[in-house]
Structure 1
């Protein structure tokens, strides 16, 4: 059953698909290749190992290996069509003549490169040719690896990797050689560091030099050290990836692939590992010779301690991002334990599960703030205006969100565009929460913080928030704008709108125009009308509605701080065409109001 699941895509519209197994297989593949490279190339540094790993696990390589094993012929990439099912000896009553310029059984091509609109992905012609995206084949390779891992563990996964001709076997001699190379690390001057950390981890190293290597920053090389944690961090990254992904896969069996990916992204990232390092005081064991790095670590530790009780920081983009070294040492320690235990993944998980707890669940999953704002806007038909500019060492982002009768503007600062947009988005989300448009997912947590900390300073604007993050404030005095005027509501001159009259053209033109002006998206409602001769598209071709009735769509457009326009289009044979009719009518109405200048192309 798992093999069938690994060969079935979402296009089949089944109750199962390869998506979850693909996510797991991706982690298994990454771990297997990383461990093999680490053991095989003891003299290669982390950058060289990462380059080799990427070359092995990239989609192009997996696609080539899948084609060589001819798995494309087994992939189910289209829903079952009973009208084309044939018993042996029967002839099809719905023939699909072959017009494919190929001789192979399956045609693989990136879906974005296909210009012929008549081609349907996954549908076979009478000669058995099917168009399949190249990424579908690479995804299937990963899904098969995941399926074998679920059913037979690492041994079965390594067997299918060998079948795909991916070199991952690790001989016992390679493990012993890796251990012997770590035995030369001198740990006697740091024996107290080793013993304290072993007690904290609950694990005693057989080869103490591995732990010293996992804690040594590259700045120590200036003092004569011949090693650092980077190679172990390369391995530990893959180790924690497979362990956490396996835990999430088995713990949330009813969770779809999209949410499972979000759970993994929230758990397997440098920022989360940095917080784990600070929570368990692992940063105190870091061996380095950099005063600047120490200042960064101290600032980050202080920001975490202050934000845990500060509501303003909680409602903003949160504390500043941790130095990469903090997350790296968590990964390097995981890599060190794996080597010391001779690749015992279960032992590594027993050590790290308490350190990583609590592990995120679907109930407490929090999406990145900008993504959360973007998804809410898409769902409700609004557009976000974004403007970023550099302010010395920081970046300022200005986000504006045009509602039906209100313009919200917030700005935030960060070390880069991502942080700045997240900062501003968190403030916009708070504004939406205060207006009752969004229910805060962490409402109970915020209330508990207020209760425990007594009086809490309320954050009224972005300046208050940035004070808690040690970020330079923006130059503008007023950063929260609740306006009733938007640039798109009053136009200096009509907006030129080019419209294609083919199916979908009017809707696309209206959508792009609303996005450019930041108007809320128009809404459609359709009703069934009397059967009649009706147009199948925006063109002049006519046909009778085959189902015995037609559809007429009513479009409603809210112009910010202006009119609400509602129009009903002509009856059409299908819903999409009826929406095109209504959208075209709206475009010409806006032209009549001298807001648009419509040009048919």
Structure 2
């Protein structure tokens, strides 16, 4: 009996589809290994990895809602960890530790350690702009995965992911727990000086990965400079440099 279409292309298409499905499953399994949790509904994990640029016509399929939920779940989980780990700490110290642990840069580091950057679903424009290394997107993905785990497995699942990812950071903050800009402003005001002034001394790098050098000036004193990937980070670095240089702070920020 004669066939009205060739067999090979159809067979090839099925093979490609099978390989694609296998590759996706392998990617999901690798991420699950790193976060230490197996999803019952892996569609939630895929949604947590989907940026709005990949499906601009359907926001419900992106990580936005999961990121919203995960942000709250992460804050509660880390607060619980801090409450148990530092029984003698006052509210102010706990708040500073919480802010350090859940800030964008910390969440981006966690997402990078999970190796999710290469697997984020992005639109072509975002890919060309280097969005796989964008700290804001990586931070959102971290929170979205926590949110997805909460939906999939409840509080215990999300708490387990957070504890595994943030345990070491809990006792080893990456920067001083006190806010350097606030500390410098309070120091200046306590001496009757104007509020410290911050100016951009230098900016470099592409738009998706800028680098700033900020100078902070206090009246009558030599300015200090700090660098960072955002103005906010660079301003904090400049304030810290000033405080340490003038021996207002020790090197560990106290």
TM over 0.5: yes
2:220 is equivalent to residue 386 of structure 1: no
Question: Relative contact order (alpha carbons < 8 A, sep ≥ 6): 1 or 2 greater?
Answer: 2
2:137 is equivalent to residue 325 of structure 1: yes
2:85 is equivalent to residue 271 of structure 1: no
Give the equivalent residue in structure 2 for 1:192: 26
CA contact (8 A) 1:397 1:412 kept: yes
CA contact (8 A) 1:197 1:285 kept: no
Give the equivalent residue in structure 2 for 1:246: 80
Give the equivalent residue in structure 2 for 1:567: none
Aligned counterpart for 1:366 among listed residues 177, 187, 192: 177
For the structure 1 residues 348 and 225, does the alpha-carbon distance in structure 2 shift closer, same or farther, using more than 3 Å as the test? closer
> How far apart are residue 266 of structure 1 and its match?
0.9
Give the equivalent residue in structure 1 for 2:90: 256
Give the equivalent residue in structure 1 for 2:48: 214
**Aligned length in residues:** 228
Q: Deviations over 1:224-249 (max 9, x none)?
A: 99711111111111111111111212
> How far apart are residue 439 of structure 1 and its match?
2.0
For the structure 1 residues 410 and 289, does the alpha-carbon distance in structure 2 shift closer, same or farther, using more than 3 Å as the test? same
Distance in 2, matches of 1:201 and 1:415, equals 27
2:103 is equivalent to residue 289 of structure 1: no
> How far apart are residue 366 of structure 1 and its match?
2.8
Distance in 1, matches of 2:25 and 2:121, equals 13
Give the equivalent residue in structure 1 for 2:252: 441
> How far apart are residue 377 of structure 1 and its match?
4.1
Give the equivalent residue in structure 1 for 2:217: 400
Distance in 2, matches of 1:272 and 1:358, equals 12
RMSD over aligned Cα atoms:
3.7
Structure with the greater alpha carbon radius of gyration: 1
Which sections of structure 1, spanning at least 5 residues, go unmatched? 1-185, 301-321, 444-601
Which sections of structure 2, spanning at least 5 residues, go unmatched? 1-19
Aligned counterpart for 1:426 among listed residues 240, 246, 249: 240
Aligned counterpart for 1:339 among listed residues 146, 151, 174: 151
CA contact (8 A) 2:197 2:218 kept: no
> How far apart are residue 251 of structure 1 and its match?
2.3
CA contact (8 A) 2:178 2:253 kept: no
Decide which structure has greater helix share: 2
Distance in 2, matches of 1:293 and 1:366, equals 35
For the structure 1 residues 268 and 396, does the alpha-carbon distance in structure 2 shift closer, same or farther, using more than 3 Å as the test? closer
> How far apart are residue 442 of structure 1 and its match?
7.0
Distance in 1, matches of 2:167 and 2:22, equals 32
Give the equivalent residue in structure 1 for 2:3: none
> How far apart are residue 373 of structure 1 and its match?
2.8
Q: Deviations over 1:247-302 (max 9, x none)?
A: 2122222221111111111112222100111233222321223454565456x5xx
- TM-score of the superposed pair, with normalisation by structure 1: 0.33
CA contact (8 A) 1:187 1:212 kept: no
Give the equivalent residue in structure 2 for 1:356: 166
Q: Deviations over 1:116-152 (max 9, x none)?
A: xxxxxxxxxxxxxxxxxxxxxxxxxxxxxxxxxxxxx
Distance in 1, matches of 2:46 and 2:152, equals 12
For the structure 1 residues 437 and 426, does the alpha-carbon distance in structure 2 shift closer, same or farther, using more than 3 Å as the test? closer
> How far apart are residue 437 of structure 1 and its match?
4.7
